[in-house]
Chain A
Amino acid sequence: MSYLQTMPPHDIEAHLAEHDNKSILRFITCGSVDDGKSTLIGRLLYDAKLIFEDQLANLGRVGSPGAANGKEIDLALLLDGLEAEREQGITIDVAYRYFATSKRKFIVADTPGHEEYTRNMVTGASTADLAIILIDSRQGILQQTRRHSYIASLLGIRHVVLAVNKIDLVDFRQQVFDEIVEDYLVFAKELGFASVRPIPISARYGDNVISASANTPWYKGPALLDYLETVELDPPDREKPFRFPVQLVMRPNADFRGYAGQVASGRISVGDPVVVAKSGQRSSVKAIVTYDGNVETAGEGEAVTLVLSDEVDASRGNMLVAPGSRPFVADQFQAHVIWFDANAMMPGRSYILRTETDSVSATVTTLKHQVNINSFIREAAKSLQMNEVGVCNISTQTPIAFDAYKDNRATGNFIFVDRVTNATVGAGMIDFPLRRADNVHWHALDVNKGARSAMKNQRPAVLWFTGLSGSGKSTIANTLDRILHARGKHTYLLDGDNVRHGLNRDLGFTEEDRVENIRRVAEVAKLMADAGLIVLVSFISPFRDERRMARELMDEREFIEIFVDTPLDECARRDPKGLYEKALAGKIANFTGVSSPYEVPENPELHVRTVGHEPIDLALEIEAFLEKRMDDE
């Protein structure tokens, strides 16, 4: 915060006008734990006299050992506002601070150094223009220095201040500074920053923070604050092509239909032609409506409501764009993804992909490689663990409109949301659409599912048996198959073991491979249902996510989840294939129920308990259910 001045201006209106026209710099501080990020911001605010008296006095009250002992204030405590942060003496979450000097306004995000909280560093970096990367003079470049530099570059930050901190602890020696700078420049070369400004600093004592320090006569560059006040920023996104993600369609009455949103880039004026990105429909802008009256023109950043000359179909998630320069519209593309969640990212698993206003179901079709943040070398990977960065091919259920992230930060980003926990599990920066997205279209066939199933005199269905190994899935499925066959139904039984002999014989039993195993089987079941068959799928299918994915592939009411519920010790007692004995002896890795989890279905269509029941009775029960469902339709 702040607006502290010594002399109040005479003409407040003129002062405010000047104040409002100042440019604004958004920056982050990052680097390893204990490199002094929070202290640096605290020092900057303190020396520039931008801290209120009661906030300073408060530093004494929160009673950390170093705090307010009369001589030295623990400046980090100005920012570390959470109890856990004060307890552990580290920054966990981003703190935003706002301040202004006579030259510029600033929003600073003080971001955590600890690897565990990389997601919070990304939060700060996504909207920043500049990063201050702190390095402890005694330590030199650490893994987190590399990670944060890489993430800053990935998120489109163009300017870096290399703050070589704690220079007092190495006796202000130029040689130490020069060596660190040289090391950094070598490794940062690949990151493509527009500028890197090294400054020797002592955040604790204020050397080169707001004024040049007498302790570093060899340093001829600007102090940190001078530099932040004068660094030249890239031109805003107004010169880029017009992009307007539709946020809401406003229909207060039959006479008014407007598209509300915030201009993501470019500029639009009344009379300009526009195109609806996803459909290609053309129209032009009839009016730009705001509460303060209609305006003639609106540019990047402005929240307005556009009224078009024609009735077009554009709802939330679509984009109004410049006809001469359109975004990509595709359902397959490549992106850089940063993963945040403790549950690894699995290719084949379904996530919700959210852009600024669009939300679709998406899967990672291929994880091409992950990037080693120490060497920037591409490494093969089957999944992305927490805090890892990977390059992925992504497929969405319906096409989205986007630009490459390097061309447009607003329209080239997305997040991944977990379907079960609703957590934000990853962030993505789109590289480019995949060509095959343009060329592979779903081929509309003349003989369709309805025609094929009508000929068989049945409705297609997918009966999905899930349960532990040895629970009795295959026995019941097999019995049911015989009954249905005897009644003249056209069926097919997909059994886990059988499919693994052929289609899926390249897959093992790791979590990644199990996800892929189910994905393939679900696709096969879908094709068989499309052929009009009643498909019985007997697979352990231990994870809810994949069962849901399979469900979503099928038509409504076509998918029938059957939970074959047998207690683990009963399965182990039956042990028809002798697998439990081996698993319990530690001879089989990743065995469901023993060394790998089984996620119990929450709302299966049928829940059959095998203990005390004969397979034939259970099969008849399922057949009755199926018959009733068919009759209902």
Chain B
Amino acid sequence: MSLIHLRRLEAEAIHVIREAVATFSYPVALYSIGKDSSVLLHLAMKAFYPAKPPFPFLHVDTRWKFREMIAFRERMARELGFNLLVHVNQDGIDQDIGPFTHGSNVHTHVMKTMALRQALEKYGFDAALAGARRDEEKSRAKERVFSIRSAQHGWDPKRQRPEMWKTYNTRVGNGETMRVFPLSNWTEFDVWQYILRENIPIVPLYFAARRPVVRRDGMLIVVDDDRMPIQPGEEVAERLVRFRTLGCYPLTGAVESEAATLPDILREMLTVRTSERQSRLIDTDEVGAMEKKKREGYF
């Protein structure tokens, strides 16, 4: 009898999380409030039981997250009692950087990539755990579980270390940091299945509901607040939609769906014809978009 699939993934992730804690002096977990982050948080609670996770959770806030996400973040921190850090790039606020005014590329670079770099440096974290999965995107499929970043936070695919067995090389040089991806081998389907089995709370945006939507650039953008400029000819209409992935609201497309429960979502997954990242504008704003962003320090 082999250990069943989800339990094996769970055990592997717990092993990786513990390994980061055992070998780094000041690790942090990146908390983006999405489904993968929620799974990572749950696994961290498991990994150190009966103690709490011995590291803080960092949310890099771009100020353009869905309001429901921020409310959910506050609720989770209160209920689970973990140490939540929130960082916003003040330079970006001073320049009033936003996705509508500056475009997805500049916005993501300043408010996410630069903000993450600032936060890591401010606290002196030497390792950052994150919920990225190899099945998300082609360049992520090439990431190691322990992925080294230069002192300038850059990812160099050619400098990746070979990674054999579960024998990880966790040594970093001066100023270098490590990204740690415990969910590397999970698929989107595994994540949903695990959320169902473990009864993990997630942001309600993942469930279908009637929401005000504008169709723009082939995507369904939910109007989350009055900062969204409505172009001439555009129409805000109520549609039954949900999200497969969550980011900044102007950059994340909703999908039309009737899936209002976790079993509904899983049933939908079995027939879906597009990948989850199709609805992420930042993946496709240029060729090799994700790889370029990672080279600059996006995680």
Contact = CB atoms under 8 A, between A and B. Distances in A.
A357 B10 CA distance: 19
Interface string B1-32: 11111111011101100110110000000000
A122 B116 CA distance: 33
B22 A262 contact: no
B48 A79 contact: no
A428 B26 CA distance: 30
B171 A410 contact: no
Contact of A95 (B1, B12, B138, B144): B138
B123 interface: no
A107 B141 CA distance: 12
Interface stretch (B61-69, B155-163, B207-215, B228-236): B155-163
Contacts of B169: 354, 415, 417, 422-424
Interface in B51-73: 51
Contacts of A410: 165-166
Contacts of A5: 270-271
B278 interface: yes
A291 B45 contact: yes
A417 B157 contact: no
A427 B271 contact: no
Interface in B160-208: 160-169, 171-173, 176, 184-185, 187-189, 193, 196
A122 B273 contact: no
Interface stretch (A6-14, A277-285, A539-547): A6-14
Interface in A385-438: 409-410, 413-415, 417, 421-424, 427
Given A52-B274, A424-B161, A299 B4 contact: no
A95 B142 contact: yes
A127 interface: yes
A145 B289 CA distance: 35
Contacts of A19: 5, 193
B162 A16 contact: no
Contacts of B187: 1-3, 98
A424 B159 CA distance: 10
B11 A262 contact: yes
Contacts of A595: none
B275 A55 contact: yes
Contacts, number: 207
Interface stretch (A159-167, A246-254, A519-527, A618-626): A246-254
B124 interface: no
B138 A247 contact: no
B85 interface: no
Given A61-B287, A92-B158, A3 B189 contact: yes
A512 interface: no
Given A107-B185, A252-B50, A247 B15 contact: yes
Interface string A295-306: 000011111010
A386 to B, nearest CB: 12
A19 B157 CA distance: 34
Nearest to B4: A20
B266 interface: yes
Interface residues of A, number: 88
Nearest to A21: B4
B21 A302 contact: no
A427 B7 CA distance: 28
A63 B288 CA distance: 12
Nearest to B184: A96
Given A256-B50, A417-B171, A94 B7 contact: no
B131 to A, nearest CB: 16
Contacts of B164: 122-123, 126-127, 413, 415, 427
Given A93-B157, A122-B164, A316-B22, A422 B291 contact: no
Interface in A132-187: none
A352 B169 CA distance: 10
Nearest to A233: B2
A96 B185 contact: yes
B263 interface: yes
B47 interface: yes
Contact of A1 (B1, B189, B271, B292): B189
Nearest to B268: A8
Given A20-B193, A301-B11, A54 B275 contact: yes
B212 to A, nearest CB: 25
A81 B48 contact: no
B35 interface: no
A369 B62 CA distance: 57
A478 to B, nearest CB: 38
Contact of A422 (B2, B48, B50, B173): B173
23 contacts: A8-B271, A19-B193, A20-B5, A24-B2, A52-B273, A54-B278, A81-B291, A83-B292, A84-B157, A93-B157, A93-B160, A95-B142, A120-B162, A123-B144, A126-B164, A247-B19, A248-B22, A260-B47, A290-B46, A291-B49, A300-B3, A415-B167, A422-B173
Interface of A: 1-9, 12-13, 15-16, 19-24, 52-55, 58, 61-63, 78-84, 86, 92-98, 105, 107, 119-120, 122-123, 126-127, 236, 238, 247-248, 250, 252, 256, 260-262, 289-292, 299-303, 305, 316, 340, 352, 354-357, 409-410, 413-415, 417, 421-424, 427
Task: Name the 8 nearest CB pairs between A and B, nearest first.
Answer: A81-B138, A252-B51, A126-B164, A291-B46, A119-B162, A291-B49, A303-B14, A303-B11
Interface of B: 1-8, 10-12, 14-15, 18-19, 21-22, 45-51, 134-135, 137-142, 144, 157-158, 160-169, 171-173, 176, 184-185, 187-189, 193, 196, 263, 266-275, 278, 284, 287-288, 291-292
